[in-house]
Amino acid sequence: MSSPAPPTLTPRQLEAFGQELDAIRARVVADLGERDVDYINRLIRVQRGLEVAGRGLLFAGFLPPAWIGGTAALSLSKILDNMEIGHNVMHGQYDWTGDERLNGKTFEWDTACPADQWRHSHNYMHHTHTNIVGKDRDIGYGILRMSEDEPWRPYDLGNPLYAALLATFFQYGVAMHDVEVEQIAAGESALDEEKREKLRGVWAKVRGQTLKDYVLFPLLSGPSLPFVLAGNATANLTRNLWAFTIIFCGHFPDGTQQFTEEDTENETRGEWYYRQMLGSANLTGGKLFHILAGNLSYQIEHHLFPDLPAHRYGEISDEVREIRERYGIPYNTGPLYKQFGSVVRKIVKLALPPLPALPGLRRSEPVLDEPAAAPARSQKPAPAKTGARKLPAAKTGARKQPTPKAGTRKRVAAA
Amino acid sequence: MIDRVLPSSDIRPRRLARRLLHSSLVEALAYPHGVDRYVELVRPLLLARDVRAEVTAVRHQTAKSVTLTLRPNDNWRGFRAGQFVGVSVDVDGVRPTRPYSPASSEHAEDGTLELTVSTHPDGLVSRHLRDHARPGMIVGLTQAQGEFVLPDEPPERVLLISGGSGITPVMAMLRTLCEQGFAGEIGFLNYARSRDLALYGPELATLALRHEGVRVARGFTRARGSQLGGRFDRGHLSAVISQHADAATFVCGPPALIDAVRVVWAEDGLPEPAVETFAPPALRFDTDGAEGRVSFTVSGREAANSGLPLLEQAEDAGLTPAHGCRMGICNTCSCHKTAGTVRNVISGATSSAGAEEIRICVSVPVGDVVLDL
């Protein structure tokens, strides 16, 4: 990945930038109310209705229309449950309602990953350390090489294959995420009591999910057993592929920036916002698309305000875009096929060892909605004055190599 | 929304349906959300676990209160007179929970309980219930909690002292004792601002007439015409009880009433009476003058409020709460506050005093706070 250098903002500009975003947040928080609760409750009703209808139809799964309808309804149910409901509720987006069913701390979702482990690996590790190579384990999930800063190894030739496998079995990949199983396999981390405890949690959740989808419902359906089994497996697969696609479009399309730990030491709130904006990418689409994507299609807004109800992201996106335009910060967005296409290209390209750097060689085009990389000077805030820092030092064309632990081949993403 | 009207024939779930709901097979099929999360969408009272209640009667004893009769679903395990329940209602999108002490006898045959909710000028739940409660409304309930209860062995004498809305738990005690045919002596000192604002006046008079051992006297603190004339003092005791020294004493009301009773008990060298107050803490916004105590219920630890965010106070108390970003983003440290008010250090907003989830990394206590940690 090679991207145009993001603008250099002075500390004062970054502070003003952070304050403008804080103001958006404060306004939305002050406006939270019945509309948000009605929205999420309506979605929950739709999801539960789809689930019951889907499982009911699959009991008549020997009839092809019933199988197709049932499988589609169950797939949609799982997608809504995991994304617009589960992911968002678990961020604490509805904690302010005081409704225990919408409590981010106790919500469980219809997937293999135990909710409490997700809250750690995602809400904390990923959202706090977004796109910091070596700290954000969402960069390749410890399996894929998703950054040029990770040293290439022959293992990485399988990058596309691993990606296809991860997408197919995504719920299990997510489930094992917090256990950091690839580090245990590589002998870099011990299977200590904490990890064992996490594994027990994963096992309990996987057992519950498997019992429901692959034993009880098929057995209850009697003669429809093979149809129910196939329908449930298809619904899980559909959800896996969809979630993988949306999630990988959040931080890996061309133009997204990655950072090093040194870049982000003593980060201010403005710098934190700045990193979130540079490290995330949006997807364009219709209302239904955004709902099915759990509004992670507004990944930038989500990373700025992870605990605001996600259905609000679309409403504030114009303002966020206006702010970044004024500061000359790239706003990475595009349709799904384009963004996901660039992710696939990256997966394939990073399977190969890096090309020797040749002057003037551009290895890919940034996918930006407009040439924001070179905004008109007049629109930009005053140029950096003396004492300006490059904040946070986003990794760009000429960047320093990260410093993997001496003598090891430890993958940075797995550190 | 749990605020919906049902025909009352739907309230009592059939036994077969209940047995089905509690079966482990159905629970496994509804994994991981649980049966209730599906059933509540069509039958909000027919639940396997959650306690919900239907409002069956609404009356207004005074202009500043509403008295509700509730019929809980089968998950309700009953209460002891003096305990409180958490009541949740939907108000403009939020579902706040507030503690109320039932005023009814714990032996009510039809399984109902009575709540008398006094309204506060800015009380979200109390005003909502006063203005919108009607028969058929469904509210959420917690199981009963609280140690403000009569002793297991019936005492010889019981002295009940209440001020304002604090009448409800001691009213429950009086009604319960009367229903049990309590043979001892019961004295009841009841204070209210005026006759118009006094709760349960006629019933107290009736109970005193019907039960030989019951004596009731009322005092109006801001109006004339009461038997006791003004606020509690030592002289009032003899109006209702032969001797207060060995009476099991229960006081519920504003802090001033509790303090006045405590002073008399201390002067007489008596052990502290059982007390309860509903008054919210006075709000203090200066961080320099941090006041109050922080109690961690799970670990049983307690510390003086240092004015720091609760996460740091918990760590200073030797606890290791789960936490992540320490800046209010990731929600990892979110923790159940059972009582007390906190201020969000990012927004400056002050929370309600009731039970709710808070992010302890960005919440500083305003006065006493109780956390499930």
Average pLDDT, integer, range B211-230: 92
Distances in Å between the Cα of B4 and the Cα atoms of B21, B139, B327 are 22, 9, 39
Give percent of chain B with pLDDT exceeding 90. 60
Give yes or no for residue B11 having a pLDDT over 50: no
In chain B, the residue whose alpha carbon lies closest to the alpha carbon of A306 is B329
Q: What is the largest CA-CA distance in chain B?
A: 66
| Long-range contact pairs involving B122-126 (C-beta distance under 8 Å, separation at least 24) | B124/B91, B124/B94, B124/B96, B124/B352, B125/B87, B125/B89, B125/B91, B125/B96, B125/B98, B126/B66, B126/B98
Match 């904006």 to its residue by tokens.
A277
In angstroms, the CA B219 to CA B34 distance is 51
- What's the confidence (pLDDT) of residue A183? 82
Give yes or no for residue A226 having a pLDDT over 80: yes
Nearest to B6 by CA among B74, B64, B55, B59: B55
| Long-range contact pairs involving B219-222 (C-beta distance under 8 Å, separation at least 24) | B219/B189, B219/B190, B219/B191, B219/B192, B220/B191, B220/B192, B220/B193, B220/B194, B220/B195, B221/B163, B221/B191, B221/B192, B221/B193, B222/B193, B222/B194
Which residues of chain B approach chain A closer than 8 Å at the C-beta? 1, 25, 28-29, 31-33, 37-38, 41, 88, 90, 92-97, 322, 324-325, 328-332, 334-336, 347, 356-357, 359
Q: How many CA atoms lie within 13 A of B331 on its CB side?
A: 30
Architecture of domain B157-276: 3-Layer(aba) Sandwich (3.40)
CA-based Rg of chain A, rounded to a whole angstrom? 22
Average pLDDT, integer, range A100-119: 92
- How many other C-beta atoms are found inside a 10 Å radius of the C-beta of residue A266? 6
Find chain B residues with C-beta within 8 A of A23's C-beta: none
Give yes or no for residue B131 having a pLDDT over 70: yes
Which two structure tokens, joined as six digits, stand for B206?
């009736």
Q: Which residue has the higher pLDDT, A395 or B41?
A: B41
Q: Which residue has the higher pLDDT, B326 or A229?
A: A229
Q: Which runs of consecutive H residues, i.e. helices, occur in chain B?
A: 15-21, 24-29, 36-39, 124-132, 167-180, 201-210, 255-267, 310-316
B293-371: CATH topology: Ubiquitin-like (UB roll) (3.10.20)
**Contact between chains at B95 and A91 (C-beta distance less than 8 A):** no
Find chain B residues with C-beta within 8 A of A110's C-beta: 32-33
Q: SS3 helix, strand, coil % of chain A, rounded to 5?
A: 60, 0, 40
Q: Which residues pair with B191 in a beta bridge?
A: B163, B219
Render pLDDT for A365-390 as a digit per residue (tens, 0 to 9).
444 444 443 333 333 333 333 333 33
In angstroms, the CA B11 to CA B9 distance is 6
**Contact between chains at A208 and B41 (C-beta distance less than 8 A):** no
**Contact between chains at A211 and B28 (C-beta distance less than 8 A):** yes
- What's the confidence (pLDDT) of residue A157? 95
Give yes or no for residue A405 having a pLDDT over 60: no
| Strand-pair category, B293-296 with B301-304 | antiparallel
- What's the confidence (pLDDT) of residue A358? 58
| Strand-pair category, B248-252 with B274-276 | parallel
Omega of the bond prior to A309 within 30 degrees of 0, cis? no
- What's the confidence (pLDDT) of residue B1? 39
Residue A110 forms contact with B (CB below 8 Å): yes
Find chain B residues with C-beta within 8 A of A103's C-beta: 357
Output the CA angle A185-A190-A196, nearest 5 degrees. 95
Confidence of residue B281 (pLDDT cuts 50, 70, 90): very low
Instruction: Return the H-helix or E-strand segment holding B157.
Output: strand B157-163
| Mean of pLDDT over chain B | 88
In angstroms, the CA A190 to CA A175 distance is 19
Q: How many residue contacts between A and B have a Cβ separation below 8 Å? A: 104
Give how far A81 is from chain B: nearest CA, Å: 10
- How many other C-beta atoms are found inside a 10 Å radius of the C-beta of residue B18? 17
Q: Check: CB of residue B99 under 8 Å from CB of residue B86.
A: yes
Concatenating the DSSP letter of every residue in A205-273 gives HHHHHHIIIIIIHHHHTGGGHHHHHHHHHHHHHHHHHHHHHHHHHHH-STT---B-TGGGTT--HHHHH
Give yes or no for residue B12 having a pLDDT over 70: no
User: Under DSSP, is residue B304 helix (H, G, I), strand (E, B) or coil?
Assistant: strand
| Strand-pair category, B85-88 with B97-100 | antiparallel
| Residues with Cβ within 8 Å of residue A307, at least 6 apart in sequence | A91, A92, A93, A95, B328, B329, B331
In angstroms, the CA B199 to CA B193 distance is 10
Give yes or no for residue A406 having a pLDDT over 50: no
B8-141 shares its CATH topology with B157-276: no
Nearest CB neighbour to B93, from listed A37, A101, A128 = A37
Please provide the distance, in angstroms rounded to a whole number, between the alpha carbons at the two ends of chain A: 21
Give the distance from CA A341 to its chain's centroid: 16
- Mutation target for A interface from B29, B334, B358: give the one with most A CBs within 10 A: B334
Map out the domains of chain A as residue ranges: 11-303
- What's the confidence (pLDDT) of residue B78? 94
In angstroms, the CA A368 to CA A324 distance is 13
- What's the confidence (pLDDT) of residue A45? 97
In angstroms, the CA B28 to CA B32 distance is 8
Residues 145-174 of A with CB under 8 A from B: none
Which two structure tokens, joined as six digits, stand for B131?
């203005």
Which amino acid type is present at position B83?
Q
Nearest to A401 by CA among A245, A290, A262, A298: A262
Give how far B49 is from chain A: nearest CA, Å: 13
Average pLDDT, integer, range B68-76: 94
- Burial profile A92-129: b = 16 or more Cβ within 10 angstroms, e = fewer: bbbbbbbbbbbbbbebbbbbbbbbbbbbbbbbbbbbbb
Which two structure tokens, joined as six digits, stand for B49?
């676990």
Residues 18-57 of A with CB under 8 A from B: 26, 29, 32-38, 41, 45, 48-49, 52
Give how far B54 is from chain A: nearest CA, Å: 18
Q: Check: CB of residue A112 under 8 Å from CB of residue A202.
A: yes
In angstroms, the CA B330 to CA B327 distance is 8
- What's the confidence (pLDDT) of residue A357? 61
- What's the confidence (pLDDT) of residue B186? 97
User: Which listed CATH number (2.40.30.10, 1.10.1740.10, 1.20.1730.10, 2.60.40.650) goes with B8-141?
Assistant: 2.40.30.10
Average pLDDT, integer, range A265-273: 88
- What's the confidence (pLDDT) of residue A390? 39
Map out the domains of chain B as residue ranges: 8-141, 157-276, 293-371
**Contact between chains at A48 and B324 (C-beta distance less than 8 A):** no
- What's the confidence (pLDDT) of residue A413? 34
Q: Check: CB of residue B65 under 8 Å from CB of residue B165.
A: yes
Q: Check: CB of residue A289 under 8 Å from CB of residue A267.
A: no
Confidence of residue A98 (pLDDT cuts 50, 70, 90): confident
| Strand-pair category, B157-163 with B248-252 | parallel
**Contact between chains at A34 and B359 (C-beta distance less than 8 A):** no
Give yes or no for residue A331 having a pLDDT over 90: no
Which two structure tokens, joined as six digits, stand for A387?
């004492």
Nearest to B364 by CA among B328, B321, B325: B328
Which two structure tokens, joined as six digits, stand for A332?
């990475």
| Residues with Cβ within 8 Å of residue A106, at least 6 apart in sequence | A100, A115
Q: Which residues pair with B67 in a beta bridge?
A: B59, B116
